[in-house]
Chains A and B, each alone.
Chain A
Amino acid sequence: MLDVKDLRVQFLTSPHKWAVDGVSFHMDEGEMIGIVGESGCGKTVTAMSLSGLLKKKDVRYEGTVKLDGREMLDTDRDNIRNLQGTSLAVVFQEPLSALDPIMKVGPQVEEAIMVHHPEISPEDRKKMAFEAMENSGLYDLENVYESYPHQLSGGMLQRICIAAAIISKPRLLIADEPTTALDVTTQAHILELLKRINREQGTGIIMISHNLAVVNALCSRIIVMKGGKIVEDGPAYQIRNNPRHEYTKQLIAAIPTREKKYR
């Protein structure tokens, strides 16, 4: 479904470094991939290039990104806009700032439908929003629909963001550290939710995280990045039990367990 070939991204502000330096991977329909790596390793830049959020005047691309055979990097704004919110959706790290502070959350869930299918009546749209919100594990929908972002908790807001992302049944969902801003219990719920969406709706999910444990619990396949390059790519169990690259071993060693003691 998604085919990334030799993707290189460079910010024009630092013209001698490649933020992403030759990344290639293939993703099948309904697969759940985790991308892990330290801060600044290029995982978010990779995801943002996939979603078409980086502006042409700020960055230089090389390579190809194909979603369902359609080229994502070379098309014009209108084409990308047609894909955004229909084939592709993103969930951000900080749910409170990702929502418009003075707009009720209900209409924000409907945004993608409102933009791409203006012909759908408000009642039907609301029905779709309720369905998406229910699928995102929210309850007391009438009340939540009429709330403003500052009235809801972080976990609920992240569910709203997920509802907004899945309302148009995208084929690819990019989750950029969706649980970093949440506490551990909520984190587990949100991860569970993403897993369920993947299973029930067949949505392909790319999960970006610096936390190997989180990704390991969720994804069937893990890509480890460092310095803009992919250092290891394989099934989760293999990465976990039999890491080949030195950096992956270090990442696994960094997961705290009960047995490890500080020396």
Chain B
Amino acid sequence: MKKILKSDNWYLKCGIFITGFILIVILIGQFWTPYDSGYMDGAARLEGPSFAHIFGTDNFGRDILSRVIEGTGTTFLVSFCINLIGLLAGTMIGAAAGYRGGLFDDLLMRICDAITAFPNVMLALVIIAVFGSGDLNIIWVLGILFIPSYARIVRSQFVQQKSCNYVQMAKLMGASPLRIIFVHILPNIYSTLLPAATIGFNNAVLAEASMSFLGVGVSANKPSLGRMLNEAQSFLVGGAPWYAAFVGLAIVLLVMGLSLLGEGLQKEQLRGKK
């Protein structure tokens, strides 16, 4: 911790500060929010920011601050799961393809290329249209769509590392391929994977928000940043611009914190290599 505070890596510092702040708010939001996020106050519809409602109220008279806090939590959790699926499966596929090589490698990578050839959100919409929406479905679908980018990174690293002498040495000691992959190569590419995972998380947040914005995200009774932004757009000109502004701010803050974190980690890694 001291090392981070002392370092001149401002990306990393700001990233940790913002992401940390958001995480604390999400954590508090699990136990306490200023109002019940579902409570509708008919007398206070579309009210501007005030002491009673710091972020104002929406068209049903619900407190926007409470809904933003809970919505950030939902978005964060969903993105985390999406990212986790992408990262784990992508690492497995990339490691197998990169270490094995040959036709097997070509086959896996061409499948990944095929998936990446479609715009993520569009492909997700098609799949959701076929299988129906739902919290779990959105996580699975987006998670699978995140696999190729991880698989590619891990594969390229494996191709590079497997010809290194230390891998040959481990082979000569009789180590099995699984042992070489997990014990020797994976720890060595960890520093490349970590920034990639942070940036991937970022994309997952945006993907989840876009899906909710389009109305196929998490179920409607849970507040989610994307869905709130969707609702807010009809009042953007009509009289409650703060609604969209505060929800947008939450998304921007979340994405900015994560991308600063990713950028900072990458810088730290580059410095380590020097």
**A residues in contact with B188, CB < 8 Å:** 100-102
Report the Cα distance A112→B174, complex, angstroms. Answer: 7
Report the Cα distance A51→B174, complex, angstroms. Answer: 11
Given contacts A103-B184, A103-B187, A115-B179, contact A51 B172 (CB under 8 A): yes
Pick from B165, B174, B183: contact of A84, CB below 8 A.
B174
Q: What 0/1 pattern do residues 31 to 75 of A give for CB contact below 8 A with B?
A: 000000000000000000001010001000000000000000000
Report the Cα distance A195→B57, complex, angstroms. Answer: 85
Given contacts A101-B188, A102-B187, A115-B179, contact A85 B174 (CB under 8 A): yes
Pick from A57, A90, A103: contact of B102, CB below 8 A.
A57
**A residues in contact with B184, CB < 8 Å:** 100, 103
Report the Cα distance A112→B102, complex, angstroms. Answer: 28
| In the assembled complex, A141 has its CB within 8 A of some CB on chain B | no
Tell me the residues in window 147-165 of chain B with beta carbons closer than 8 Å to chain A beta carbons.
164-165
Residue contact A111 to B170, C-beta cutoff 8 Å:
yes
Tell me the residues in window 165-201 of chain B with beta carbons closer than 8 Å to chain A beta carbons.
165-166, 168-176, 179, 183-184, 187-188
**B residues in contact with A92, CB < 8 Å:** 165, 168-169
**A residues in contact with B168, CB < 8 Å:** 53, 92, 98
Instruction: Please give the distance in Å from B197's CB to the nearest CB on chain A.
Output: 18
Report the Cα distance A90→B173, complex, angstroms. Answer: 8
Residue contact B173 to A112, C-beta cutoff 8 Å:
yes
Report the Cα distance A101→B189, complex, angstroms. Answer: 11
**B residues in contact with A158, CB < 8 Å:** none
Tell me the residues in window 82-113 of chain B with beta carbons closer than 8 Å to chain A beta carbons.
102
Report the Cα distance A86→B174, complex, angstroms. Answer: 8
Pick from B166, B174, B176: contact of A100, CB below 8 A.
B166
What total of A-B pairs shows CB separation below 8 Å? Answer: 61
Report the Cα distance A53→B170, complex, angstroms. Answer: 11
Report the Cα distance A161→B173, complex, angstroms. Answer: 11
Nearest B residue to A110 by beta-carbon distance? B173
Instruction: Please give the distance in Å from A65's CB to the nearest CB on chain B.
Output: 16
Pick from B102, B166, B173: contact of A85, CB below 8 A.
B173
The interface on chain B, measured as residues whose beta carbon lies within 8 A of the other chain's beta carbons, has a size of: 18
Instruction: Please give the distance in Å from A2's CB to the nearest CB on chain B.
Output: 16
Residue contact B172 to A90, C-beta cutoff 8 Å:
yes
Report the Cα distance A51→B169, complex, angstroms. Answer: 11
Report the Cα distance A11→B264, complex, angstroms. Answer: 45
Pick from B102, B169, B174, B183: contact of A98, CB below 8 A.
B169
**B residues in contact with A180, CB < 8 Å:** none
Report the Cα distance A161→B164, complex, angstroms. Answer: 15
| In the assembled complex, A238 has its CB within 8 A of some CB on chain B | no
Report the Cα distance A97→B163, complex, angstroms. Answer: 11
Instruction: Please give the distance in Å from B164's CB to the nearest CB on chain A.
Output: 7
Nearest A residue to B185 by beta-carbon distance? A100
**B residues in contact with A116, CB < 8 Å:** 174
Residue contact A84 to B169, C-beta cutoff 8 Å:
no
Instruction: Please give the distance in Å from A224's CB to the nearest CB on chain B.
Output: 26
**B residues in contact with A90, CB < 8 Å:** 169, 172
| In the assembled complex, A190 has its CB within 8 A of some CB on chain B | no
Nearest B residue to A99 by beta-carbon distance? B166
Given contacts A57-B102, A103-B184, contact A98 B165 (CB under 8 A): yes
Tell me the residues in window 224-241 of chain B with beta carbons closer than 8 Å to chain A beta carbons.
none
Report the Cα distance A111→B176, complex, angstroms. Answer: 11
| In the assembled complex, A19 has its CB within 8 A of some CB on chain B | no
Report the Cα distance A51→B172, complex, angstroms. Answer: 7
Q: Which residues of B contact A (CB under 8 A)?
A: 102, 164-166, 168-176, 179, 183-184, 187-188
> Known pairs A86-B174, A89-B172. 6 more at Cβ < 8 A?
A85-B173, A88-B172, A89-B173, A111-B173, A115-B173, A115-B176
4 tightest Cβ-Cβ pairs between the two chains A and B = A85-B174, A85-B173, A84-B174, A97-B165
Q: Which residues of A contact B (CB under 8 A)?
A: 51, 53, 57, 81-86, 88-90, 92, 94, 97-103, 111-112, 115-116, 161, 164
16 contacts between A and B (CB under 8 A): A53-B168, A53-B171, A53-B172, A85-B173, A85-B175, A86-B174, A90-B169, A98-B168, A98-B169, A100-B188, A101-B188, A103-B187, A111-B170, A112-B173, A115-B176, A164-B169
